[in-house]
Amino acid sequence: MQRVVLLTIVFLLSGDVAVSGGSGFGDAYEFRDVKVMAHNKVKDQGDSGTCWAFSTMSMIESDMIASGRDTVELSEMYVIAMSYIDKVRQYIRMHGKILVGEGAEFHDAVSVWKRYGLVPRSVYWMGDDTTRINHERLALSVDSLARETVFNGKIERSKPKEGWEADLNSLIERYIGKIPTEFEWRGRKYTPRSFADEVVGLDPDDYVAITSFSHHPFYEKFVFEIPDNWSFGEEYNLPIEVLEEAVDSAIERGRTVAWAADVTEKYISCNLGIGVYPQTDPDSMSTKDRRRWRSLPDFSKEFYGLEFPVEEGSVSQAMRQEAFDSYETTDDHGMHIVGKALDKNGKEYYKVKNSWGPSAGYGGYVYVSKRYFEYKTMHVLMNRQYIPKETRERMKI
């Protein structure tokens, strides 16, 4: 079933955006951006599970601008290609016991940056901006190559076949393009390493992944138990209110944050551009919301909160943990928090840059309430320098 959202967007030279939208039921959402950091245009990851690369590169681009570096569009495809090589190598070392798919985590993009470097998008991209990305055949081919390398057509594993890396590079070249080892950009020659060091000019060691779940001690690191963490990367663990405070601190100081969350819930829609955690218990609602709730048809109750502003429920650390342990909260999608906005009632939202193209949501953006962030955040990636000092001291970073 389709739902139509009417959008009005006015982009001002100052960077402020006035946005309104709704489906015709009740009062429409209206947002006023109060602080938005400079960032590059919305991209489209197309038919690929590579949000982790798009969101991480988008954040690094913004940090480059905030640091007075060049405004550059970075190549997601380079990060994806190099990550595939590392992923297959890990698959072989793990005797075929990890996933070899399109998914990965923010720290995997940072690992590529640290180990190999980065390249500009103009140097390494599949086609042009009109080319719709589709990595289905690439992902299936890489998975097949990895399995053949480890199992060699047999049920039980045997000694890994030789030559897999050359074969993998051939697959990547066929579906994306030859991985650049040296290139010219703006009249100078670079390698991925020299481009990252001289042009990007940021320190990958400054970036930390942070999550918030109570099955591990807070303020310590642990290997996050999610399927796409094929590299067994460690993340810091903070109470959710402290994590939220760290994100707010970064925004207040002019920095952005990569954000991964569960987006399969009925109270978030990246296509509508809204994410909230509505109060659905009539006994806990205000008189106004209770009357509206009781007047709605059952269908509208299923999507309550996506069509007009509503009161939200409360969130606790225990709720987050229960949702994670029951598979209700899953590691679905990575995006890029670029600022904050207020709705017409003065409630605060994060403005989140998505990678589904400018036709999704509010011109490619999703407005996510603080309650939704608290409930459905999986993890974030941010520069540790912008975490409050007392939190950094407890994290020992």
**Is-contact 342 17, C-beta < 8 A?**
no
pLDDT given at position 307: 87
pLDDT given at position 128: 66
pLDDT given at position 285: 83
State the virtual CA torsion across 128, 132, 136, 139 in degrees, nearest 10: 30
The domain limits of the chain are 46-202, 204-337+368-397
For the whole model, what pTM was predicted?
0.91
pLDDT given at position 157: 65
Q: Does domain 204-337+368-397 have CATH number 3.90.70.10?
A: yes
Q: How confident is the prediction along the chain (397 residues), in pLDDT tens digits per residue? A: 223 333 333 332 234 444 544 433 346 899 999 999 999 999 999 999 999 999 999 999 999 999 999 999 999 999 999 999 999 999 999 999 999 999 999 999 999 999 999 999 999 997 666 778 999 999 999 999 999 999 876 666 678 889 999 999 999 999 999 999 999 999 999 999 999 999 999 999 999 999 999 999 999 999 999 999 999 999 999 999 999 999 999 999 999 999 999 999 889 999 999 999 999 888 888 888 888 888 888 877 888 888 889 999 999 999 999 999 999 999 999 999 999 999 999 999 999 999 999 999 999 999 999 999 999 999 999 999 999 999 999 999 9
Amino acid at 94: M
pLDDT given at position 9: 31
pLDDT given at position 11: 30
pLDDT given at position 84: 97
pLDDT given at position 26: 41
Chain position carrying tokens 């959202």: 5
Classify 335 as helix, strand or coil.
Answer: strand
Would 46-202 and 204-337+368-397 be classified into the same CATH topology? Answer: yes
pLDDT given at position 156: 67
Q: How many residues does the chain have?
A: 397
**Is-contact 354 366, C-beta < 8 A?**
yes
Which CATH number applies to 46-202? 3.90.70.10
Distance CA 66, CA 50 (A): 25
pLDDT given at position 258: 98
Pairing of β 207-211 and β 234-237: parallel
Distance CA 309, CA 374 (A): 18
Question: Minimal CA–CA distance to 333: which of 258, 267, 262, 270?
Answer: 262
